Structure 1
Amino acid sequence: METKNYNGHIYKPLMAGLFAGYIATVFNLVYDVLFREQTAFPLHDLINVSTIIFATLFALPLAGVAFAFIDRYFRNGTPIYVSLSAVFTLLCVYGVLQVHRSPDPVVTTEFHELLLGLTIISGIFATVAVPWLVKHQDIYM
């Protein structure tokens, strides 16, 4: 049996981002289910299972590509990536808090809490898990 060796610089970070995306998707779905059970959140049109899966599995491989780019063109790429990813996560958190979904303040607060949790979970996985999984590729390859 022939073993394939992928030496492309983008392959490992992309696969790390994809694997981190799978794990983050599971955490996001668990958070979504627990949140909806506790609050009976009425607005399920925008944030549902399919959008959570699509958004998380789209964003984290992109984080892997960003990591590959930063790691390739900067001497200390990992700390730079972690810093930029943390800042981007904080900007996303700020953006989530600016959204007004409903005229009802309770529904808007619940929407903020749901979207904020999903954003923080995805941001933590993009910031911490992607660089860690690139260095520990034996877990998923």
Structure 2
Amino acid sequence: MNYDYQQTGFSKAVLTGLFAGLMATLACLAYDFFYRLNTGFTMSAIINVPSIIIACHILLLVCGMLYFVFKNKIKKGSIIFIGLFVILTVYLIVKGEGVERSPIHQLTVQFRGLLLGMIVIIGLCASILIPYLSGNKKFEENVL
């Protein structure tokens, strides 16, 4: 699209974060649907459709803004951003392994599987999709 104004780098980072949030939301919703279908997991007080939609969008919007700061304020900020979010994702996976959701062991194991899948999807979108889309000229021309 042709606009009468120039977008700032920050506005592009926000829109990239929102787009990555949309992609993560769709991936997490699909994962949630198929995981629950295959395992029969029914507990939905914490991880449910509204929480997935809100969490993915907010987290990746913030990640898009952080990427802008890293890229513009730190030398080799893109690489540092990717490394930081890969480390953060691994840390959250390790911490997620210790979550006790229910006194029933099977429910706890199923909840962990759902939670860890969401962490991986959001972590990959933050550490790979945002930097990739931010530097992609075709994405910038066609979407932003």
Report the TM-score range of the alignment, normalised by the length of the smaller protein. over 0.9
TM alignment of 1:1-141, pairs within 5 A? 3-7=4-8, 9-136=9-136, 137-141=140-144
1:10 aligned counterpart, secondary structure: helix
For 1:68 and 1:3, locate their aligned partners in 2 and report how far apart those are by CA, in whole Å.
23
Query: What is the deviation of 1:66?
Result: 0.9
Are the counterparts in 2 of residues 19 and 140 from structure 1 also a CA contact under 8 Å?
Answer: no
Q: Percent identity?
A: 29
Query: What is the deviation of 1:84?
Result: 0.5
Query: What is the deviation of 1:139?
Result: 4.0
Query: What is the deviation of 1:135?
Result: 1.0
**Unpaired segments ≥5 residues, structure 1:** none
Cα offsets for 1:86-127 (capped at 9, x unmatched): 011111112211210001111100000000001100100000
User: Which of structure 1's runs of 4+ aligned residues deviate more than 6 A?
Assistant: none
**Unpaired segments ≥5 residues, structure 2:** none
CA RMSD of aligned residues (A): 1.3
Letter aligned with residue 4 of structure 2: T
**Distance change >3 Å, CA 130–CA 44, structure 1 → 2:** same
For 1:2 and 1:103, locate their aligned partners in 2 and report how far apart those are by CA, in whole Å.
57
Letter aligned with residue 138 of structure 1: E
TM-score by length of 2: 0.92
Query: What is the deviation of 1:42?
Result: 2.3
For 2:84 and 2:3, locate their aligned partners in 1 and report how far apart those are by CA, in whole Å.
39
TM-score by length of 1: 0.94
Letter aligned with residue 126 of structure 2: A
